[in-house]
Chains A and B, each alone.
Chain A
């Protein structure tokens, strides 16, 4: 089995990141946007793990960071879903474009 080079891993993570970005900017459904944010975070996680493995094999710092990010992501998902529920209660919709009162 060939050794997987860091470039290949970075390709995956970059692709994941831009898919996330694309989803974040194009989807109007907030749940989908939340999922897109998760994708972005996971692409970052992949980067952390990959750099940890290839650049500092003896250390665990990158892995710790990954765990940290996953924790934050969980908390963020909880808060975001709470916001979405409240938004739904007041607007009867979870489309972000319907919640555009805060403008000039």
Chain B
């Protein structure tokens, strides 16, 4: 086996870049900071690809099964001989795939930002934050124990907060950053409790040992965690559900998705990196990482399935009505992550039954390419038009041919049209759903039709719809550094579906046979084509047809446009209920009782001192008088009274 310790460099290079740019960037490398960040990330990417090659094709396999390799291990905090927190690097198919995805997409975003963010006042800071994010995300996927993943999880949250709030002079960006941080932090509370439960019952924090102990039905840990119960569910279910809540918060699953659309306030390349391809799949990754444990608990898996499926459908419906192009993409991201989630939920561990797991990882892989491509394309459009609203766009296909073509490829990919990447992965997900749960399958197929519809609504609104205004064309399509990532990602979106994920990433490590069944594929593809046709009919040329259809839907359209009032519900719950019933009484107690007690102490002391301060007259003779009076008093005391 190779020595894999060089892998530590993959996350450490971005960390070094972050430190260098964060500390000295604005002063010394104002204009080169982008180049420095990109160069260091390029090295990371090359190392990741090299690692992936080594792992998948040279020595990851033992007897046809991919092994977990602990590349590095270092004891960080030793609490007792049995309990310690380690820092380690784990290599298994999903982590290797994730480092490739993260470094690659991050590299594309770095290159794109060279053009997009050019001339920004805080250019170096931007690259420092990007590096911090990349470091945290790589640390997260390489974590070998559950506590380490939690630390990087929080770091990812922080860097996401910093990047969403990058334009901090805009109040909406500040509000969005806070919202994202509070919502995900709230979910992380669940994650932390889940970690504590799992770690308490299994007696370890290490993923390998934890999975081994909790999945073997004979072990004492397994028996104790399944036999203890709380509110009618076993502790195992509770632990896994709480961990899933953390994952759902990061992955924007209903009802914790409200931060994701607002997070689009950040710079567009950031949205492509964090809120499309990498951070939001952290929740999926977490479930996949603990999948052997999830797979033995039916209830937890069902929660994953239904939350995923419902989020996929809800987001797709909302996406059909939004007019801000980045918000459409945000909801589409949420919908696609819903797909990955329920694919995990319907899966079982091992062999043929592990199809859903493989499909989920496959979709994660392909989605990263086409979704970041969509976001970068949208970024290029916004760069040209200076607006996020669909009504300001239209007819851009002649002005930006490269963006147009690559955006079309990405739309076809996400719609699931063969032979683009999304087709293959979505196909596997649908197949997995079909084999285990018809209801979820129904939702999934319907959602895939909707996906095609709203993506092409977006596509036509940007690139067709009307003739472009001449004044739009004042600075062309953008620099070469903005076109290059689009082209590379376009090629990836074309070919990523042919990567043999089935033989590389499976739940138990053994290769899985898959084949495309034309009869099965027909229905989703037909639905997708129908969706596209409908979008063509409604949006290709400017007409009243679209608004007529919207009116036909009436209340449903309005509700979807208002995002089903979920934000309002949250506001109602927080402002009216939590603030009034918990916050205000708590504030009252703090102000009147806690502070009151302290004020009482202070005023009493003050009054007493007011009484006796007259003694400090500043007159020497008074002092002398007290002094001798005291001596006299003591003399009387000792001589006559103290017998």
Q: Which residue of A has the minimal Cβ distance to B612?
A: A104
Report how far A59 CA is from B621 CA in the complex, Å: 38
- What sequence of 0s and 1s flags, for each residue 1-43 of chain A, a beta carbon within 8 Å of any chain B beta carbon? 0000000000000000000010011001000010000000000
B621 touches A25 (CB 8 A): yes
Report how far A24 CA is from B625 CA in the complex, Å: 9
Selected from A25, A97, A99, the residue in CB contact (under 8 A) with B624 is A25
- What sequence of 0s and 1s flags, for each residue 65-98 of chain A, a beta carbon within 8 Å of any chain B beta carbon? 0000000000000000000000000000000110
- Of residues 609 through 626 on chain B, the ones whose CB sits less than 8 Å from some CB of chain A are 613-614, 616-621, 624-625
Q: Which residue of A has the minimal Cβ distance to B621?
A: A25
- Of residues 587 through 643 on chain B, the ones whose CB sits less than 8 Å from some CB of chain A are 613-614, 616-621, 624-625, 628
Q: Which residue of B has the minimal Cβ distance to A24?
A: B624
Report how far A8 CA is from B616 CA in the complex, Å: 40
Residues of B within 8 A of A28 (CB): 621
Selected from A21, A100, A101, the residue in CB contact (under 8 A) with B628 is A21
A100 touches B621 (CB 8 A): no
Interface residues on B, range: 10 to 19
Selected from A25, A99, A104, the residue in CB contact (under 8 A) with B616 is A104
Q: Which residue of B has the minimal Cβ distance to A102?
A: B618
Report how far A41 CA is from B418 CA in the complex, Å: 116
B617 touches A96 (CB 8 A): no
Total count of chain A residues near the partner, CB < 8 A: 13
Report how far A100 CA is from B618 CA in the complex, Å: 4
Report how far A102 CA is from B620 CA in the complex, Å: 10
Q: Which residue of B has the minimal Cβ distance to A21?
A: B628
Report how far A99 CA is from B613 CA in the complex, Å: 18
B616 touches A96 (CB 8 A): no
The smallest C-beta distance from A92 to any residue of chain B, in angstroms, reads: 18
Report how far A61 CA is from B33 CA in the complex, Å: 90
Report how far A103 CA is from B617 CA in the complex, Å: 5
Report how far A99 CA is from B616 CA in the complex, Å: 13
A100 touches B613 (CB 8 A): no
Report how far A99 CA is from B621 CA in the complex, Å: 11
Report how far A80 CA is from B267 CA in the complex, Å: 78
Residues of B within 8 A of A102 (CB): 618
Q: Which residue of A has the minimal Cβ distance to B613?
A: A104
Residues of A within 8 A of B614 (CB): 104
Residues of B within 8 A of A33 (CB): 621
The smallest C-beta distance from A28 to any residue of chain B, in angstroms, reads: 8
Residue contacts A-B, CB under 8 angstroms, 14 given: A25-B621, A25-B624, A25-B625, A28-B621, A33-B621, A96-B619, A97-B619, A99-B618, A99-B620, A100-B617, A101-B618, A103-B618, A103-B619, A104-B614
Sort A-B residue pairs by CB-CB distance and give the 6 closest, nearest first.
A103-B618, A100-B618, A104-B613, A104-B616, A96-B620, A103-B616
Task: Name B's A-contacting residues (CB within 8 A).
Answer: 613-614, 616-621, 624-625, 628
